[in-house]
C-alpha cells in the first residue's frame, strides 16, 4: 500500500523517496481517538487503538456481524480496511506536525497477502518501513513524499493471518 503525504502547496505532484533518521516529540494522547474515528469507514470498522507511537500503531478489532465472512471471521475487505487504518494511524502519529500544517496522508497503493483464515479478534501492527527524515525532507523540498508502512495482522493465538505493505 502506498500513501502519499502532500503539503497544502503541492497536492498535485507525486514522487517516491528514500527515508532517513530523525527524532521528533512524543505522540499527542488525543491522536489515538482521531486515528480510529476520523473517517466514516474507520468508525464503521470499529477498531480500537492498543498502542500508538511515532513508528508503530497496534489496533485491535472484533468484527461486527455485518463485517464477517461465511466462516464467521472478519471479511477480507475488513482485514484490508484494518491494515489501511493501522497504516494511517502510524502516519498520523509520525507526521502529526505536518498534518497540523496542512499535509494530507493518502494511500497510493497496497499489496496484501492473506496467509491464514482469521477468526475472532484480530490485531494489526503497523510500522513505518523507513525513517522519518527522508519523508520530511521530501515534503519540505517537493511538497510530497511516498513511503512504505508494513502491517501484520494476527489472530488471538498469535498466528499471522495477513501481511500488507502500504505505500503512503
Nearest to residue 155, comparing CAs of 118, 112, 116, 115?
118
Nearest to residue 26, comparing CAs of 52, 63, 62, 5?
52
Task: Quote the DSSP letter at residue 168.
Answer: -
Is pLDDT of 33 > 90?
Answer: no
Q: Which helix (H) or strand (E) holds 108?
A: strand 104-114
Tell me how far apart the alpha carbons of residues 32 and 57 are, in angstroms, rounded to a whole number. Answer: 9
Q: Nearest 5°: CA angle at 121, between 115 and 124? A: 60
Q: Nearest 5°: CA angle at 66, between 64 and 67? A: 70
Task: Quote the DSSP letter at residue 120.
Answer: S
User: 149 in helix, strand or coil?
Assistant: strand
Q: Which helix (H) or strand (E) holds 96?
A: helix 96-100
pLDDT for position 4: 53
pLDDT for position 72: 96
- For residues 123 and 9, is the Cβ–Cβ distance under 8 A? no
> What is the average pLDDT across 136-150?
95
- For residues 32 and 58, is the Cβ–Cβ distance under 8 A? no
Q: Backbone phi, then psi, for 126, in 5-degree steps?
A: -110, 135
Tell me how far apart the alpha carbons of residues 1 and 121 are, in angstroms, rounded to a whole number. Answer: 23
pLDDT for position 23: 42
pLDDT per position as a tens digit, 66-117:
999 999 999 999 999 999 999 999 999 999 999 988 888 889 999 999 999 9
pLDDT for position 27: 60
pLDDT for position 82: 98
More confident site: 33 or 116: 116
Amino acid at each position: 500500500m502506498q500513501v502519499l503525504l502532500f503539503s497544502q502547496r503541492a497536492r498535485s505532484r507525486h514522487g517516491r523517496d528514500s527515508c532517513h533518521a530523525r527524532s521528533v516529540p512524543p505522540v499527542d494522547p488525543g491522536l489515538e481517538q482521531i486515528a480510529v474515528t476520523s473517517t466514516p469507514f474507520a468508525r464503521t470498522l470499529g477498531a480500537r487503538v492498543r498502542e500508538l507511537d511515532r513508528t508503530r500503531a497496534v489496533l485491535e478489532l472484533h468484527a461486527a456481524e455485518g463485517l464477517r465472512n461465511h466462516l464467521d471471521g472478519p471479511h477480507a475487505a475488513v482485514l484490508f480496511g484494518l491494515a489501511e487504518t493501522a497504516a494511517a494511524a502510524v502516519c498520523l502519529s509520525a507526521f502529526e506536525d505536518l498534518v497540523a500544517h496542512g499535509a494530507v496522508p493518502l494511500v497510493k497503493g497496497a499489496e496484501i497477502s492473506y496467509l491464514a483464515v482469521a477468526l475472532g479478534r484480530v490485531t494489526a501492527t503497523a510500522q513505518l518501513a523507513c525513517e522519518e527524515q527522508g519523508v520530511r525532507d521530501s515534503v519540505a523540498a517537493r511538497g510530497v513524499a511516498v513511503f512504505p508502512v508494513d502491517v501484520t495482522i494476527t489472530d488471538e493465538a498469535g498466528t499471522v493471518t495477513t501481511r500488507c505493505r502500504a505505500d503512503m
